[in-house]
Amino acid sequence: MKIIQIMHHSYSPHGLEPKLYDEGWHVRVAKEILKRTKEYEIECWRPEKELKKVLICEEDEITYKISPSFYLYFGREYSLSLLREIKKESKKDDIIIHLHEMHSHLSYLIAYFYRNLPIVAQHHGGFPPLYTLLKSENPLRFLSLLEYIPEKIAFRNIDYFFALTEEEKKYISNLVGQDKVELLTMGVDFDVFKPMDKLYARGMLDLDPNKKYILFVGGSRKEKGGKFLLASLSKIIKKYPNTVLLVAGNSINSDMKSIIKKYEIEKNIKWLGKIDYNKMPILYNAADIFILSSLREGAPIALIEALACEIPVVGTNVGGISEIIKNFKSGLIIPPKDSNAISEAILKILEKPAMFKVNRENGRKYYDWNYIIKRYLKIYEELSSVYYKEVY
């Protein structure tokens, strides 16, 4: 039995090289599966618009395959080559297709043309056509209406769905029925993201042990709501002048620059740039508070990682943030685009941090990789018995 993990998009538009080895979610899932079982062959596929021919290689028991692709309107990506590769594989082996993102033209085509193959789809924060129509500012957003029917048809051919949020679960359930959908995020390694001594963590990062540190991950992307967080900072500094906002991300946008200038808060911000993922547990533990000021989200892994490190959190009431906070039984939920709410929540935690003790073990039941992969393997087994009359 072969499990093919398929990412739905190229990396080049996101500023990444079209390399074979990457840490996209399809690859992370593949590696986590292989840590727990060798019963399946695992392949990781994705499209790449910068390529002219299919690239294939193998590393650490995973076969990587990248197929040429092209774009049409509204950033929609297609790969006829990838579709042909599925056909070839289905003739050689018993396969299960695991799609990483379901709101995607490439995923629709795979589900439509290969309806006789077992297909699992994992939501990664994409939005359905009607959401795009209502929320997007793109002048071509009306074209999303053309996608509603194709998506509905394609979803009927998918055997099982994993949704990131209750909102997404409800949406899919209305199309295909509740018995084919469950809530499941991506996982976190709780043996890596765990509490450590705060002074030690700060020493590792050369941070002042006597200051208050607020951690923000997201940089300049507007949907992360950085400008609202920055606007809240002056009120926090008035009460706690030694507060520093740690910003992990590559750049700063014009709105953020103007707010920094207006409130004269540059000295209270430390720009970290891109952080090596291996250093993230140290960074979380060095902070007093982790803040997500997002305007939209799926189920942010950074929030789960911070809570796994038992760091108090503040998050906006969008996407799956409230569900994550509920499962860890700690944190404050605030409305998006509200600087006053941000400052009040942060001040509340700074004043009484003991009130926000994280229930790490309860969160672990939902977000540890062991739980996530166990659910995947269970569905793979069920599909293999239905399609191939075998149990692996």
Neighbours of 351 (CB within 10 A): 10
CATH code, domain with 17 = 3.40.50.2000
- Whether residue 24 is contained in a domain is answered as yes
Q: Are residues 308 and 339 in the same domain?
A: yes
- The arrangement of strands across the sheet holding 332-334 comes to 269-273, 243-248, 212-217, 289-292, 313-316, 332-334
Number of domains in the chain: 2
Residue type, 198: K
Q: In terms of domains, do 36 and 111 share one? A: yes
pLDDT value for 169? 96
Angle at Cα 196 formed by Cα 194 and Cα 201, nearest 5°? Answer: 120
Report the DSSP beta bridge partners of residue 121. 99, 161
What is the torsional sign of CA 244, 245, 248, 252? Answer: negative
How far is 207 from 23, CA to CA, in rounded Å? 29
DSSP three-state, residue 161: strand
Using DSSP, state whether 138 is helix, strand or coil. Answer: coil
CA 165, CA 170: separation in Å to the nearest integer? Answer: 9
Q: pLDDT digit string (tens) for 216-271?
A: 997 777 889 999 999 999 999 999 999 999 999 777 778 888 899 998 999 999 99
Q: Are residues 307 and 166 in the same domain?
A: no
The domain in which residue 83 lies consists of 2-187+368-387
- Structural domain contains residue 392: no
Report pLDDT for 374. Answer: 98
Instruction: Count the alpha carbons within 13 Å of 12 in the hemisphere toward its beta carbon.
Output: 17
3-state secondary structure of 191: coil
Cβ atoms 110, 95 nearer than 8 A: no
Asked whether residue 202 falls in the same domain as residue 299, the answer is: yes
Q: Give pLDDT, residue 165.
A: 94
Same domain for 157 and 63:
yes
Measured CA distances, 326 to 195, 337, 363 (Å): 19, 21, 9
Q: Are residues 123 and 144 located together in one domain of the fold?
A: yes
The helix/strand/coil state of 257 is helix
331-359 tens-digit pLDDT:
999 999 999 999 999 999 999 999 999 99
Q: Are 79 and 180 found together in one domain?
A: yes
Same domain assignment for residues 308 and 377: no
- Say whether both 83 and 135 belong to one domain: yes
Tokens of 305: 């990682």
pLDDT tens for residues 52-87?
Answer: 999 999 999 999 999 999 988 666 899 999 999 999
> Is the pLDDT assigned to residue 17 strictly greater than 70?
no
309 domain-assigned? yes
Strands (E) located in the chain: 2-7, 41-48, 55-59, 62-68, 70-71, 77-78, 95-100, 119-122, 160-163, 181-183, 212-217, 243-248, 269-273, 289-292, 313-316, 332-334
3-state helix, strand, coil in the chain (%, to 5): 45, 20, 35
Percent of the chain scored above 70 by pLDDT? 91
CB 202 within 8 A of CB 209: yes
Note the pLDDT of residue 127. 84
pTM of the predicted structure, to 2 decimals: 0.92
What are the DSSP E strand ranges found in 218-323?
A: 243-248, 269-273, 289-292, 313-316
Phi-psi region of 337 (alpha: psi -120 to 50; beta: other; left: phi over 0): left
Quick check: 16 pLDDT over 60?
no
- Residue 192 belongs to some domain of the structure: no
Residue 170 lies in a domain: yes
Q: Give the total residue count for the chain.
A: 392
CA dihedral 142→147→149→150, nearest 10 degrees, is 160
pLDDT band at 22 (very low <50, low <70, confident <90, very high): low
Query: How far, in Å, CA of 103 to CA of 42, rounded?
Result: 23
pLDDT of residue 238: 95
Q: What is the CA 71 to chain-centroid distance, rounded? A: 23
Residues 6 and 61 in one domain: yes
Q: Is residue 193 part of a domain?
A: no
* 204, 282 contact by CB (below 8 A): yes
The letter for the amino acid at 100 is H
Q: Do residues 180 and 266 both lie within one domain?
A: no
The reply to whether 290 and 208 lie within a common domain is yes
Neighbours of 223 (CB within 10 A): 12
Q: Is the pLDDT of residue 15 over 60?
A: no
